[in-house]
Structure 1
Amino acid sequence: MGTHVIKMPDIGEGIAEVELSAWHVKVGDLVVEDQVLADVMTDKAMVDIPSPVHGKVISLGGVPGEVMAVGSILISIEVEGAGNYKESAQPAAVAEVKAEPAKAAPAPAPKVEAVAPGKPAAACRPAPVAPVARTADERPLASPAVRKHALDAGIQLRLVQGTGPAGRILHEDLDAYLAQGPGASSAAGNAYRERHDEEQIPVIGMRRKIAQRMQDATQRAAHFSYVEEIDVTAVEELRAHLNEKHGASRGKLTLLPFLVRALVVALRDFPQINARYDDEAQVITRLGAVHVGIATQADIGLMVPVVRHAEARSLWDSAGEIARLATAARNGKASRDELSGSSITLTSLGALGGIVSTPVLNLPEVAIIGVNKIVERPMVIKGQIVIRKMMNLSSSFDHRVVDGMDAAQFIQALRGLLEQPATLFVE
């Protein structure tokens, strides 16, 4: 038997160190080739570290949240044969890490489940988690997709134990809860008991990066927000018509591709808004290309994959790219290139979008467009009360770069395009 040592790889782009975000294995585990061993976080994305060999984990080189240098020892695996590691070359600092991670930072469930030879598949599944009882006013952390999953399945989220970062409820948590059967709801009887438990959650990995970026954005940029009400009845009628006529062959359209198209057309007259501001160099870069970031909620946190060259895409091309990128981001498979380079961002919470929001800029961009939910509302048009589909756009701008008048005129241009959707396609 020999030892195969895996070192922290060179992720590229001149990165000298990365943060160890999560382990998917522990000391003593049997692993197979291509099984994901750990997640590491760069400034731009989460990266999976797969195993190049079959073997048994004998030591781990760090704990979640630790910043490790490229080239440092990440994990040691016992393998058949000589391995790639010589005893004489072992640094004195290499030590075996305890199998259990710190109490406050349990590693998330493995993305790849590997069954060791001779070991039944059931033994590799995590044990069911006992339901929890939250008070009626306690709102658990969960993404919009998870909330819809729970609603469709008839699950009360306050009874489900979350295993994601900061106790976030994941899709697999819902599946585990359902697998426990009707008895899982018995915890509801404890909903009014006093609770004195506490839990400390380290801010590491993606959550740390999000916190840093949000704090940086609010400290550096001079945010101001502008909200406008838009009548989306016509564009929704057009969307329904196109879906009925072409949905089966080209795919269904959401409102987002129309918003992307409206951005492309409006930005022709407002190049100062399709820009990035390097405040250290004091340089504003205006882009001809429109690279639209689509804020996407994943189980690990908010990510912003980028629809590149939206100016050259049709409605269905944009729709397909948005869907592809959203799926990649939610599954943790989006590449660094797919998560960087945007020139303006769209953010939407869909049906949970509320009436008004104040989105935070995605630096170094100077504008972010927040989409609120669509509601039917009585409106007065030519002296008549009619029911229309209305939606607010809640947008934020960097006042260091964008003047208030320019921002207002830009949003009014978007409003005109969406209320008269034929103008989206007039060159």
Structure 2
Amino acid sequence: MGTHVIKMPDIGEGIAEVELSQWHVKVGDLVVEDQVLADVMTDKAMVDIPSPVHGKVIALGGQPGEVMAVGSVLISIEVEGAGNLKESAAPAPVKEAPVAPKVEAAVESKPAAAAAPRPAAVCQGPMVAREADERPLASPAVRKHALDLGIQLRLVRGTGPAGRVLHEDLETYLAQGQSNASAPAAAAYAQRNDEEQIQVIGMRRKIAQRMQDATQRAAHFSYVEEIDVTAIEELRAHLNEKHGASRGKLTLLPFLVRALVVALRDFPQMNARYDDEEQVITRLGAVHVGVATQSDVGLMVPVVRHAEARSLWDSAAEISRLANAARNGKASRDELSGSTITLTSLGALGGIVSTPVLNLPEVAIVGVNKIVERPMVVKGQVVIRKMMNLSSSFDHRVVDGMDAALFIQAIRGLLEQPATLFVE
């Protein structure tokens, strides 16, 4: 028997160290070639580290949350033969993802029964007794799913990172025959005195660092504008009815992307990056729109490249593809970087007003709030209109307040008169 030592790989882009985010194996586990051993976090994405050999794990080189230098020992595996204890080539990562693979995924073994599968993530008990005002971690999609199913999220045990409730947890809850009606009131409102410490590591730590860095470095200011989206919603419904079956359904997002592209022609200072160390503003002709997307482990920003050259349906297809890739853990580093301006939306949960945090080094981010029907006075008559707010933030070091207001008002004009989106 010999020992095969796997070192922290050189992921490229001049990265000298990475954060060990999660182990998928433990000492004593049998592993097979290509099995994912660990997730490591770079500045841009999560990277899976696979095993190049069959064998047994005999030592782990670090703990989740530890920052490790490229070339340091990551894991040692006992193998048949001499192994490579003296020399170890770092294996090339075979898959990149903005989220860690779900722990319930079983390991697919090449030789039959060569490795024990990872245990499935199962609910530890029938339900969780949270305080009535305690808000469990969950994505907007999971919250809506729970609402549709009539499930109180605070009663569901989360098996995701940091106790986040996943779609699978809702299914487990239902499969166990739990319901709001059958949940014992005493258990649901039981007094609690327990405490839980959750280490901020991996993607959550990167998000926290980026948000803190953005608020400390940039001079944020926000501007909110109300928009009548009745006409654009009528156009969207018409296009979906006429072309939805052949070209795909349109959401509001591709119209917003188109409005950004057109408005930026007159406000190029918004489509820019600011290097505050070199004191240089770089304005870009290409419009690479970052679309903020919620995943089970946090906020991802996949990038719709060259939005200026895309049709409505092309933008819609790319937004959908990137969003699914981010949520499913398949978005690459290139797909998560390089944006020049960001669009962020909470969809139906968008609230009335928000104050988005800039995605540095960008200087503008446009936030979309939910659409509501309200009585409005139009030409002296009270009519019902679909209204929506844009809550946008800017870097005051680069963007003046008046320019920001004019930029958002230009977007407003384009959306309220949707034909102007396509007039060249």
TM-score (norm 1): 0.91
* 1:226-265 Cα deviation digits (max 9, x unpaired): 1010000111111111111111111111100000000000
State the secondary structure of the residue aligned to 2:78: strand
Matched with 2:124 is 129
Identity of aligned residues (%): 85
Question: Which has the larger displacement, 142-151 or 111-120?
Answer: 111-120
Matched with 1:99 is none
Q: Distance in 1 between matches of 2:159 and 2:103?
A: 12
Give the residue type in structure 1 aligned to 2:366.
I
CA shift for structure 1 position 334: 1.3
Question: Which has the larger displacement, 363-372 or 177-186?
Answer: 177-186
1:300–1:40: structure 2 CA closer, same or farther, 3 Å change rule? same
State the secondary structure of the residue aligned to 1:272: helix
CA shift for structure 1 position 330: 1.2
Question: Which has the larger displacement, 13-22 or 41-50?
Answer: 41-50
| Structure 2 gaps, min length 5 | 89-99
State the secondary structure of the residue aligned to 2:370: strand
Q: Distance in 1 between matches of 2:140 and 2:421?
A: 30
Q: Distance in 1 between matches of 2:360 and 2:247?
A: 34
State the secondary structure of the residue aligned to 1:393: strand
TM-score (norm 2): 0.92
* 1:389-417 Cα deviation digits (max 9, x unpaired): 10000000111111111001001100000
- Equivalent residue for 1:157, pick from 153, 170, 190: 153
* 1:35-75 Cα deviation digits (max 9, x unpaired): 22111111111111122223222221110000001111111
User: How many correspondences in the alignment?
Assistant: 409
Matched with 2:166 is 170
State the secondary structure of the residue aligned to 2:371: strand
- Equivalent residue for 1:355, pick from 340, 352, 366: 352
Matched with 2:93 is none
| Structure 1 gaps, min length 5 | 91-106
- Equivalent residue for 1:387, pick from 384, 387, 396: 384
Matched with 2:219 is 222
* 1:182-233 Cα deviation digits (max 9, x unpaired): 3896465312221110011111111111111111111111111110100001
Matched with 2:138 is 142
Write out the 4+ residue segments of structure 1 that deviate beyond 6 Å after TM superposition.
119-123
State the secondary structure of the residue aligned to 2:270: coil
- Contact 1:38/1:48, CA 8 A, preserved across alignment: yes
Q: Distance in 2 between matches of 1:155 and 1:374?
A: 25
* 1:88-116 Cα deviation digits (max 9, x unpaired): x79xxxxxxxxxxxxxxxx9842742155
Matched with 1:269 is 266
1:123–1:223: structure 2 CA closer, same or farther, 3 Å change rule? closer
Matched with 1:34 is 34
Mapping 1:296-375, distance limit 5 Å: 296-375=293-372
1:81 counterpart = 2:78: no
CA shift for structure 1 position 155: 2.2
1:124–1:216: structure 2 CA closer, same or farther, 3 Å change rule? closer
State the secondary structure of the residue aligned to 1:182: coil
- Contact 2:129/2:190, CA 8 A, preserved across alignment: no
State the secondary structure of the residue aligned to 1:379: strand
Matched with 1:100 is none
